[in-house]
Amino acid sequence: MEKTVTEADSTSTFPEARTCPYQPPSTYREFQQRGPLCRVEQYDGAMAWVVTRYDTARRLLADHRLSADRTHPGFPLLSARFEAVREQQPRLPLVAMDPPEHGVYRRMVLKEFTVKRVRELRPALERIARRFADDLVDAGPPADLVPTFALPVPSMVICEVLGVPFDDHDFFRDVGQRMAESADPEDIAAARGEMVEYLDGLVTARQGEPGPGLISRLVTERLARGELDREDVVAMAEFLLVAGHETTASMISLSVLTLLEHPEQLAILRSDPSAMPSAVEELLRYLSVADLAGVRVAVDDIEVDGRLIRAGDGVIVPNALANRDPHAFADPDTFDIRREARHHVGFGFGVHQCLGQNLARAELEIALSVLLERLPTLSLAVDDVRELPVRAATTIQGINKLPITW
Ligand code: HEM
């Protein structure tokens, strides 16, 4: 049965911040009760659809009648910050391109993220995680896990993937950290400028002398043949940094917090390290840190689950809703590292499904294993986790501080 959208369908402003860092906002339960799709009002008064069911989420994320092009007038912006970011971006990042252009660009960078390539990277990932865990042990306790481990580990991993020379690693880490975590918008913009300038210089250096990593490969295989220009190469490198840094850093800190808050699950993991891959899947499902990555606009009418999404309507597919859908995961609010959770949509679904997922899985497995091994008495240095300030609803979900001791 067709149902046309009316203002009366809406009762909630979207999105809403989490109150507990590892739980979705309380309104998500209410959204689920409103059916597979519900209407929400955004900060600017515009209306959009929110998808609440796992099956509907996967069906829509695979539907080419939904566009990821954020310059489309109906595209849900979620916050004023998004509007500013959109205006600053000289070209669309991969995640905002539609087929067929999207496939052309994605294929250019796939090679660095295959299962095989990530397997080859594992010794480097292990070395990076051990280096920061050693520094942590030398400096503490207590310590704040976010700047000492959760942020620098993924940053160094991206250096490895892009081929950033060793001597520049500290600069890259500091600037990347400011881009991801600074509280000051001007500092974020300044850091972004420094990063773009640095990456541009690296492109020039690789034109003169090829080296390891993705940037050099794009320079020699694509820039030299005129298939990409230098701004494309710089924009791609910057996007990979942004896409892989904050997400993985949030996953590391929230995973540690969640495990410490569920001591019986942590005990299982400590007694059986082979449970780590399944624990990582459950953490990805349970935490859904990229909750609001799946934002789209309809470019044609779509009938789904008895509702009519009209061309021009905004559609938001929060992965925390799909990942907590009881039709897809029994007892979805229970954190259970032994459950079969690999079909979660924490990495999205469809053509934009996370390019870095093999890498992210390996990073999380290694970072958490190294940390648990190096800190057998790890505990939280905060009485109530609700005291930890959670990040704004429209960013990657997470915390900017995680006081720990051991
Ligand atoms: C896309 C989550 C780590 C690179 C996505 C999407 C999600 C996601 C949900 C889909 C966005 C959409 O549907 O519009 C995550 C999470 C991560 C993670 C939870 C950490 C645990 C990484 C890493 C990299 C990366 C380490 C690379 C260094 C990308 C790229 C895309 C993407 C390039 C866009 C793909 C495309 O549009 O074809 N990620 N990501 N991500 N991610 Fe990740």
pLDDT in tens, 18-40: 889 999 999 999 999 999 999 99
* Residue of the CA atom closest to atom 23 of ligand 1: 244
On whether residue 306 sits in a domain, the answer given is yes
Q: What tens digit of pLDDT does each residue of 376-397 get?
A: 999 999 988 888 988 888 788 9
On whether residue 36 sits in a domain, the answer given is yes
**Nearest-CA neighbor of 337 among 251, 289, 272?**
272
On whether residue 5 sits in a domain, the answer given is no
Taking the CA of residue 353 as reference, the ligand 1 atom at the shortest distance is 10
Our answer on whether the CB atom of 347 is closer than 6 Å to any ligand 1 atom is: yes
Neighbours of 217 (CB within 10 A): 20
Sign of the torsion angle spanned by Cα atoms 281, 287, 293, 295: positive
Distance of CA 348 from the midpoint of ligand 1 (Å): 8
Distance of CA 264 from the midpoint of ligand 1 (Å): 30
Query: Residue 176: its pLDDT value, please?
Result: 87
On whether residue 4 sits in a domain, the answer given is no
- Rounded Cα–Cα distance for residues 201 and 57 (Å): 41
pLDDT greater than 80 at residue 263: yes
Query: Residue 221: its pLDDT value, please?
Result: 95
- Rounded Cα–Cα distance for residues 299 and 282 (Å): 34
On whether residue 186 sits in a domain, the answer given is yes
Query: Residue 7: its pLDDT value, please?
Result: 37
Taking the CA of residue 319 as reference, the ligand 1 atom at the shortest distance is 9
Distance of CA 245 from the midpoint of ligand 1 (Å): 10
On whether residue 7 sits in a domain, the answer given is no
- Rounded Cα–Cα distance for residues 38 and 61 (Å): 16
**Nearest-CA neighbor of 20 among 364, 342, 333, 363?**
333
Range of the domain at 280: 12-405
CA 270-271-276 angle, 5° bins = 55
Query: Residue 103: its pLDDT value, please?
Result: 97
- Rounded Cα–Cα distance for residues 384 and 361 (Å): 29
**Nearest-CA neighbor of 397 among 406, 389, 386?**
389
Query: Residue 254: its pLDDT value, please?
Result: 97
Distance of CA 239 from the midpoint of ligand 1 (Å): 10
- Rounded Cα–Cα distance for residues 235 and 72 (Å): 20
Query: Residue 12: its pLDDT value, please?
Result: 56
Average pLDDT, the chain: 92
Residue of 70, 238, 247 to test ligand 1 pocket, by largest number of atoms within 8 Å of CB: 247
- CA 77 to the chain's CA centroid: 17
Query: Residue 380: its pLDDT value, please?
Result: 96
Mean pLDDT of 284-294: 97
On whether residue 1 sits in a domain, the answer given is no
Residues 40 and 52: beta-carbon distance below 8 Å: no
Distance of CA 344 from the midpoint of ligand 1 (Å): 14
pLDDT greater than 90 at residue 323: yes
Residues 116 and 138: beta-carbon distance below 8 Å: no
CATH, residue 363: 1.10.630.10
Mean pLDDT of 47-75: 96
Taking the CA of residue 102 as reference, the ligand 1 atom at the shortest distance is 38
Read off the pTM. 0.94
ipTM associated with this complex = 0.99
Neighbours of 231 (CB within 10 A): 13
Mean pLDDT of 154-175: 92
Q: Which residues contact 141 (CB under 8 A, 6 or more apart)?
A: 381, 404, 405, 406
Distance of CA 8 from the midpoint of ligand 1 (Å): 35
Count of domains observed in the chain? 1
Our answer on whether the CB atom of 315 is closer than 6 Å to any ligand 1 atom is: no
Concatenate the DSSP letters of all residues of 297-344 into one string: EESS-EEETTEEEPTT-EEE--HHHHHT-TTTSSSTTS--TTS--TT-
* Residue of the CA atom closest to atom 3 of ligand 1: 244
* Residue of the CA atom closest to atom 14 of ligand 1: 294
* Residue of the CA atom closest to atom 36 of ligand 1: 352
Query: Residue 8: its pLDDT value, please?
Result: 38
Taking the CA of residue 361 as reference, the ligand 1 atom at the shortest distance is 21
Q: How buried is 386 (Cβ within 10 angstroms: 0-12 exposed, 13-18 middle, 19+ buried)?
A: exposed
Q: Which residues contact 340 (CB under 8 A, 6 or more apart)?
A: 278
- Rounded Cα–Cα distance for residues 317 and 309 (Å): 13
Our answer on whether the CB atom of 34 is closer than 6 Å to any ligand 1 atom is: no
Q: Which residue has the higher pLDDT, 319 or 2?
A: 319
On whether residue 6 sits in a domain, the answer given is no
Our answer on whether the CB atom of 356 is closer than 6 Å to any ligand 1 atom is: yes
Distance of CA 356 from the midpoint of ligand 1 (Å): 6
Residue of 347, 351, 396 to test ligand 1 pocket, by largest number of atoms within 8 Å of CB: 347
pLDDT greater than 90 at residue 141: yes
Taking the CA of residue 154 as reference, the ligand 1 atom at the shortest distance is 26
The two structure tokens encoding residue 352 = 């934009």
